[in-house]
Amino acid sequence: MKRDIIACGQKVDIGTRVVLWSEQEGFECPNPRGRNSCSQHDPSLNDAPSQKFKNYKIKNPKTAYQELNENVYQLVLHYDVCYTSSHCHQLMRESPFKGSHFYLDLDGTLFQTCDLYWKTNTAPSDDKKGNERAVHVEISNLSWEALAKESEYYPSKQDKYKKTDKGWKLVLPQEYKTKILKRPFNAIPARTFGKRGYFSKKVNGKTVRMWDFTEEQYKSLEKLCIGLNKLLPGIKLKVPFDKKTGRHPLDRLNNYSRFHGVLGHCHVQNGSTGLECKYDPGSAFNWGRLHRAFKKTKP
């Protein structure tokens, strides 16, 4: 079982399962791009249309790794608005430009879809340069699509989370349940809010109602962040935090382009420059947990 994440051939063991793009159960990024700030690839790979995955070759891995460390300093967190990582990958393949370096499934399994040298187009940010400086992870969570009254892409008469004797759990369609690597698996939120179960907070002006991510996802995400910091030290073990209020902001940051560390799509893109406004990883994400985990990590 592999536990390494990879950048320019350099590997770091993060202590949890990572399925690489080269494995039978892995996923190849459907739309990688070359980073404009890096030089160790054919420049034609920087732009559309997407080419065959085998065309994405790194000329000098040592130089490429140095360039990557000089230019990449953010990990951007997303919810995928999908049932599972296999569902997310299915939608990525249908797009002519979307992709993500990592998928994080409900059971905590991480999938790396390409070498981190490559750029993936999931968060251009309001300055339209965000993908150049970032690594991305799509975390499986339906967000507001789990609520019947708010679902648009996956209409249903009932909420997709069901309250049981043991608490709330996600009701997965059979076609997605069988794609989770750890089976049997029940997707249970790490936290719930009151009797209703889901959290509700405003993010960039929109009230986002959603159930929390799973305990397994949080544990793997913590390990991914720590591993990325070792592999690409520019990605600091730091999350957005307002010292004056003692809270973790959910709206776009004023200094989003200069922030070195782990942040959400919501922190870099509120649509003020014509791009789509973003809200992920949403109202339920436990930023405080990530903050505390980082403080416990030895420098």
Distance, CA of 228 to CA of 12 (rounded, Å): 8
Domain count, the chain: 1
Q: What is the pLDDT of residue 1?
A: 83
**189-218, pLDDT tens digit by residue?**
999 999 999 999 999 999 999 999 999 999
Closest Cα to residue 214, out of 291, 91, 137, 105? 105
The rounded percent of the chain whose pLDDT value lies above 70 is: 99
Residue 224 lies in a domain: yes
- pLDDT over 90 (residue 83): yes
Query: Residue 91 sits in which domain range?
Result: 4-143+213-296
- pLDDT over 90 (residue 54): yes
| Total-model pTM | 0.97
Rounded mean pLDDT, 108-119 = 98
Residue 165 lies in a domain: no
Q: Average model confidence (pLDDT) for the chain? A: 96
- pLDDT over 90 (residue 167): no
Joined tokens for residue 136? 């991305």
Rounded mean pLDDT, 288-292 = 97
- pLDDT over 90 (residue 260): yes
The rounded percent of the chain whose pLDDT value lies above 90 is: 96
Residue 217 lies in a domain: yes
Residue 183 lies in a domain: no
CATH assignment at residue 230:
3.40.80.10
Residue 238 lies in a domain: yes
How do strand 18-20 and strand 74-79 relate by DSSP bridges? unpaired
Residue 195 lies in a domain: no
Query: Quick one: pLDDT band at residue 298, thresholds 50, 70, 90?
Result: low
Greatest distance between any 2 Cα atoms in the chain:
57
Specify the DSSP class assigned to residue 50: P
- β-bridge mates for residue 5, sequence order: 12
